[in-house]
Structure 1
């Protein structure tokens, strides 16, 4: 076949050239790059603003052809002598650039990658999609790829191409709906987004990368090419120790933190600490107080600081508010070196509607449900992930694994699980769609949670998951094999609500609410529970934890100390939000800081000392650990004394060699000679009294007691105790 030179230069379709310069062409590789026609080779490039373009041999630098302008908008073309590797020498008005041609590269993602993405089983999306620095044929650059199956055209835009969507249109891999392009000579640190035309040719707002591993801090919205250089970890021993401790039987005491408002530097514009500063200040603080874990409110990139991270759009990127991903990895490493685990709050339930985010990403409801009865949260003005799509499930699971595998995070606390399990969550009749059986259960979410937890437990033996689930959904922490959702722990929201309701009452009325403190033990072993006093209890007009307590200033503090003693004495892992450990008087303000000046007052420093000592006792005493998860380690010593508002908990180690008696007097009246039945005779040693003077109390109360054969509460032995007002006392059996 004979080819005319003019046809070869223009790609034989003038309409295609115009579509290309208009930014409407969905297959740029059919025109741009090198093309072979018989024994003739032609190169075409689109470089708006270029003065001239030459094709040179990559190896020798020899000029192979001077390209001719064939369209005024910046398309150049020319015949080259042979199909050898080549570069482009581009003359710009202010510089000369030599670079490889992005349109000279073949398809990049493998068929297996595309197949797994379509199936939702590609768990390395953070190293496959997005912006991946790599070397191809000895040339350094960045491979961009994004899922947008219904787009007519997708381009990479950034500082490197003047944010011009015409310059770097991408290739569609139609079998998976993935668009890809390798841009030579780019490196990490560059800003970028994707520009899309929807199926009808409408230009959409430029989108941030859904799989970006680094992003600009709010209010800026661009994605940033992250380095692919691996972080040098020093926590192999820690990860190995956690992998061996799959049952999580030991003490677990969690310090929940909103990093932006833990400490602010007033002298520097009230800024928050960065990751390095947090490793220097937060990590030693948490270790000093004896907490075993730090739980961070979501640090995934999020546009609105007032959402505290619970409306994230960057599920693969630690927020730029505190530094780089490398700095975040350093913070995790420091935690592990100090023996502290890290829990991240993670939000697979919903995402915000920002136009540069995931909403109608390619012009269609791609990540979300199209029907608002399934896809819109009116409470939060957010969109709900469509877990019926394989690609969306795979996206979320890959996000979870990004934090656990690549950042060595120890656990994910999954937010808003209840909202995902029920199709009628916070919806009136007619505002929701039943499942295929006519029920309210969200079967897609159930399957998602089972799959998520199975994958995590299989791939990440060091890690565990926690559900924030506020209903009576059965088997949240049962294994998937036994029909459960597969979480390791569940927040005990019922215990939190009941006990806070009780301690908020004036003590004179507490006898009428006595069961609020004991009810939690009826179901305490139906799940593996964590007792949460979280950020949700100290915001939105609820006041501080101290502010909930009744009485005068002294009684408020005593009530709080007694409540903490009861909490640490009660079965279940512990979680406490920042500021509560010093008895902060005002509710949490995410734009402010913990009121650290309170520690200048002895009564508030005493609260901090109490939390430290409670954590130390919890860590040392097998009796306080075993019955967290095993019913045979717990008995009520006193459960029904409503008139005196006294509670007694008897906790026992697995081998029955260790006993701890925890007595709480929730009235401002001391109880003298209060007799309690115990299982063994001998000395019962006081190991902690929340009324001790070091904690801000009166130092009244029980010295060590001796149990004698005097039946009480169904036990053969008993002790007579002097219980301080508004206090909790821990007594260890010494034999």
Structure 2
């Protein structure tokens, strides 16, 4: 009997066989059952009945590393193992080709349709029991590949050994590898449609990765962690609404704090769970926002060029270590936001680029599929499977890691086809316009699906243009985000602050212009990492004047920010006025807290957060014009701004900011209510490093008209300072 066709043997041994499951393993033949095994590095192979442990057949070497043999008179296939021998050694192995498919018809249908809501449960590497044996099921989408193999140390990185089974027309390839489990290192070896070997690829849905600069995927079992944050999850929806205080501390984990006595390494996830969580809670922030946590090969990208979208970076520990960090934050009453990057991906050979030999995840045309700013590739949002991949990834972080929100990076680059492109370098949409209609649809569907699955989370757009309705509901024509970063406010106000105080009167509108559109979106006011890097200097360094004035300007600016409509975001280090520009390769300069001016700014931020959270007037009507009233927005000559914030009920808050170094004594401010106004925070207070001028005991209004109000208070406006007054008396409106 011919135990194997010559053509099949040739293709198997050369790694060119597209369907090895049709040849290898156990198959019916006339007179019995044939078993074929491809196994380099052994001298002999026996087939054992798994149930009895008895030898059923000894296979003969039919060609090089191919073994085959017939088990006569057996009319029914049976579960078996293989006993290998080499020299004096023998051992037993399972045969992956002795196991049937894992993926079900529903998964296959949804994957083919591009509508699988839990994509990661079907694709990737999952530790499971199959056919009574523990192992790992691998599945990957590569529709244009001739064949796909799982390779790793377990098979000597030999792509011939574990060629995967192709599942119908879905383009998915799968295989169950018995005995492999948590910690297995692997990649996919792909032959393109022409039979050419591609660079080894990491798993697009891998749950773990090797520590960079290594690039392989690592099997991680996500089923074992026990959460202890039920209290947080139960109240999360009530804490993340538009009418609640939200103050975010943006953190790059690799450089927040390091361990100098241990080679200056970054903290682990679990060390962050102790130190960062305690710090952010003590500072009064409501959330920690992390720069991208998905695995990324180049540390200098800060995570904004990710490859392992489903794998938290291994730089700080395992997936369960990351879960422990999130769990600790939740137990401390802190939400966790992650920066999410669906706009582009790097060109590294082990990544998504030309994954199966074709432009699978990206556009084939570089005018659509290549990003000139970052030397990256752009996702093809119009392809159902790609949009499904990204939306499922968003849901993955919410489902598996209980992330409380996603800040979507570089939305503007997604919305416009001509973003950072010159004429002739981009392809218009079907209407001849510049809008990326497919990306717009993708963002709308993403928001609809994640909010449908988790109505208590938040999505946030980093969007720098005037694109309308970013945070409007999709059924009203919007993109459906919960919030939008107010990049215009940030740019205008920082330009103003960089001016010498003597010149600020000529730029007064930069501080007031944001109020013309402040209620058009649900805004977050961001002072992010982008403002303290690439030669921009630190936040303190942007301030003019001598050292005292720099600190005073910064304190006044932070007070202005916390009094302004909009949720808050502050990048790490800004809360204690770090002198130097942020450097992602080293720790923040924590030693500066030994110096009073820096400790004073830190105390101010802590107190601003406390006042903000305790005063509904400062947050309840953030996105409504009813929550803001100008008292004096036109005093350019004195560079003074005064406004009132009010909530649904309760005491209003009056904010007065002076951006000159001149103290204004006996300054009269119109007020919206008759009675007593208590000074509740003054950025010029001595405890913050200021000159100590202010209004101890507060002020009681007089029936003296000012700023169009019947009643007013007479105050001292400190130099380069912002002062908060809260209404504490009784009386009528004015």
Q: Give your verdict on TM over 0.5.
A: yes
Per-residue Cα deviation, 1:95-139 (whole angstroms, up to 9, x for no partner) = 433232211222221121111112221122222111111001211
Q: Is contact 1:50–1:74 with CA below 8 Å preserved after alignment?
A: no
Mapping of residues 32-51 of structure 1, within 5 Å: 32-51=24-43
CA distance in 2, matches of 1:633, 1:690: 23
SS class of match (1:67): strand
The equivalent position to 2:45 in structure 1, one of 29, 53, 77, is: 53
Conserved? CA contact 2:137–2:175, under 8 Å: yes
Q: Counterpart of 1:121 in 2: which secondary structure?
A: coil
The superposition leaves residues 334-374 of structure 1 with CA deviations (integer Å, 9 ceiling, x where unpaired) of 00000000000000000000011111001100000000000
Cα deviation code 1:457-488 (max 9, x no counterpart): 11012211000000000000001111110000
Deviation of 1:245 (Å): 4.8
Residue 670 (structure 2) pairs with residue 680 (structure 1): no
How far off its partner does 1:18 sit? Answer: 0.8
Matched, 1:661 2:663: no
1:129-278 equivalent positions in 2, closer than 5 A: 129-245=123-239, 247-278=241-272
Q: Distance in 1 between matches of 2:510 and 2:37?
A: 74
Partner of residue 547 from structure 2, selected from 546, 550, 553: 553
Secondary structure of the 1:626 match is coil
* Greater displacement, 149-158 / 302-311: 149-158
Q: Which runs of 5 or more residues in structure 2 are unaligned?
A: 730-734
- 2:634, 2:709 → 1: CA distance? 15
Alpha-carbon displacement from aligned partner over 1:198-241 (angstroms, at most 9, x marks no partner)? 11111111100000001011100010011143310111221121
Asked if structure 2 preserves the Cα contact closer than 8 Å seen for 1:49 and 1:74, the reply is no
Q: Contact 2:251–2:289 at 8 Å: present in 1 too?
A: yes
Counterpart in the other structure of 1:540: 534
Aligned partners of 1:682 and 1:733 also within 8 Å: yes
Structure 2 match to 1:333? 327
For 1:438 and 1:349, how far apart are their aligned partners in 2? Answer: 22
**Is 2:12 aligned against 1:17?**
no
Larger mean Cα displacement after TM superposition, 568-577 or 71-80: 71-80
Q: State the match for 2:341 in structure 1.
A: 347
Describe how 1:487-566 pairs up with structure 2 within 5 A: 487-566=481-560
Q: Structure 1 residues 629 and 409, CA, compared in 2 at 3 Å: closer, same or farther?
A: same
Structure 2 CA distance for aligned equivalents of residues 662 and 577 of structure 1: 24
- Equivalent in 435, 440, 449 of residue 434 of structure 2: 440
What's the counterpart of residue 297 of structure 1? 291
TM superposition score normalised by structure 1: 0.98
Q: Is the 8 A contact 1:45 1:77 kept in 2?
A: no
1:317-338 per-residue CA deviation (whole Å, 9 max, x = no partner) reads: 0000000000000100000000
Partner SS for 2:177: strand
Give distance in 2, aligned partners of 1:572 and 1:500: 16
Does the residue aligned with 1:294 lie in a helix, a strand or coil?
A: strand
Report the Cα offset of residue 15 of structure 1: 1.1
Aligned to 1:483: 477
- Superposition RMSD in Å: 1.1
Q: Which of 372, 381, 384 matches 1:378?
A: 372
| Displacement after TM superposition at 1:244 (Å) | 4.1
Residue 93 of structure 1: CA displacement? 4.9
- Alignment correspondent of 1:128: 122
Equivalent-residue separation in structure 1 for 2:237 and 2:224 (angstroms) = 22
Dislocated runs of 4+, deviation >4 Å: none
Measured after TM superposition, the shift of residue 39 of structure 1 is 4.5
Which residue is 1:396 aligned to?
A: 390
Structure 1 residue 28 corresponds to structure 2 residue 20: yes
| Number of equivalent positions | 726
CA distance in 1, matches of 2:146, 2:630: 67
Distance 1:608 1:94 in 2: 70
- Which whole-Å CA distance do the structure 1 matches of 2:192 and 2:254 have between them? 38
Distance change in 2, residues 1:583/1:295 (3 Å): same
2:55 corresponds to 1:63: yes
Counterparts of 1:205 and 1:233 in 2: how far apart (Å)?
39
**Secondary structure of 2:619's partner?**
helix
In 1, Cα distance between equivalents of 2:68 and 2:33 = 14
Q: Deviations over 1:364-410 (max 9, x none)?
A: 00000000000000110000000111111111111111111110000
In the other structure, the counterpart of 2:572 is 578
Name 2:689's counterpart in structure 1: 696
In the TM superposition, residue 84 of structure 1 has moved relative to its aligned partner by 1.7
> What is the rounded CA distance, in whole Å, between the counterparts of 1:95 and 1:516 in structure 2?
80
Q: Is the 8 A contact 1:240 1:462 kept in 2?
A: no
The yes-or-no answer on 1:712 pairing with 2:712 is no
Gaps of 5+ in 1: none
Q: Tell me whether 1:77 sits opposite 2:69 in the alignment.
A: yes
Q: Match for residue 430 of structure 1? A: 424
**Does the CA contact (< 8 Å) of 1:68 and 1:77 recur in 2?**
yes
CA distance in 1, matches of 2:24, 2:83: 16
Given the alignment, which residue of 706, 709, 733 partners 2:727? 733
* CA–CA separation in structure 1 for the residues paired with 2:517 and 2:656: 21
User: Structure 2: how far apart are the matches of 1:84 and 1:213?
Assistant: 34
2: CA distance between counterparts of 1:213 and 1:289?
33
Structure 2: distance between partners of 1:452 and 1:324? 27
| Residue aligning to 1:362 | 356
Describe the SS at the equivalent of 1:709. Answer: coil
- Checking the alignment, whether the CA contact within 8 Å between 2:242 and 2:622 is kept in structure 1 is no
Aligned partner of residue 157 in structure 1, secondary structure: strand
State the distance in 1 between where 2:664 and 2:255 align: 42
1:92-111 equivalent positions in 2, closer than 5 A: 92-93=86-87, 95-111=89-105
Q: Contact between 1:64 and 1:80, CA under 8 Å: does it hold in 2?
A: no
Report the counterpart of residue 732 of structure 2 in structure 1. none
- For residues 567-607 of structure 1, give each alpha carbon's deviation from its aligned partner in whole angstroms, at most 9, with x where no partner exists: 00000000000000010000000001100010000110000
Q: Greater shift after overlay, 341-350 or 30-39?
A: 30-39
Following TM superposition, by how much is the alpha carbon of 1:243 offset from its aligned partner in structure 2, in angstroms? 2.9
How far is the alpha carbon of 1:246 from its aligned partner?
A: 5.9
CA contact (8 A) 1:218 1:303 kept: yes
State the alpha-carbon separation in 1 of the partners of residues 545 and 238 from structure 2: 47
Moved more, 381-390 or 70-79: 70-79
CA contact (8 A) 1:478 1:485 kept: yes
- C-alpha displacement of 1:565: 0.3
**Residue 463 (structure 1) aligned with residue 466 (structure 2):** no
Shift of the 80–558 alpha-carbon distance from structure 1 to 2, 3 Å rule, reads: farther
Structure 1 residues 337, 630: CA separation in 2 closer, same or farther (over 3 Å shift)? Answer: same
Query: Equivalences for 1:597-636 in 2 at 5 Å?
Result: 597-636=591-630
Offset from partner CA, 1:3-38 (integer Å, 9 cap, x none): xx22xx11xx21111110100100001110111124
Distance 1:81 1:295 in 2: 66
Query: In the alignment, which of 706, 713, 717 is matched to residue 723 of structure 1?
Result: 717
Is the 2:284–2:609 Cα contact (8 Å) retained in structure 1? yes
* Alpha-carbon displacement from aligned partner over 1:136-157 (angstroms, at most 9, x marks no partner): 1211011111111111111000
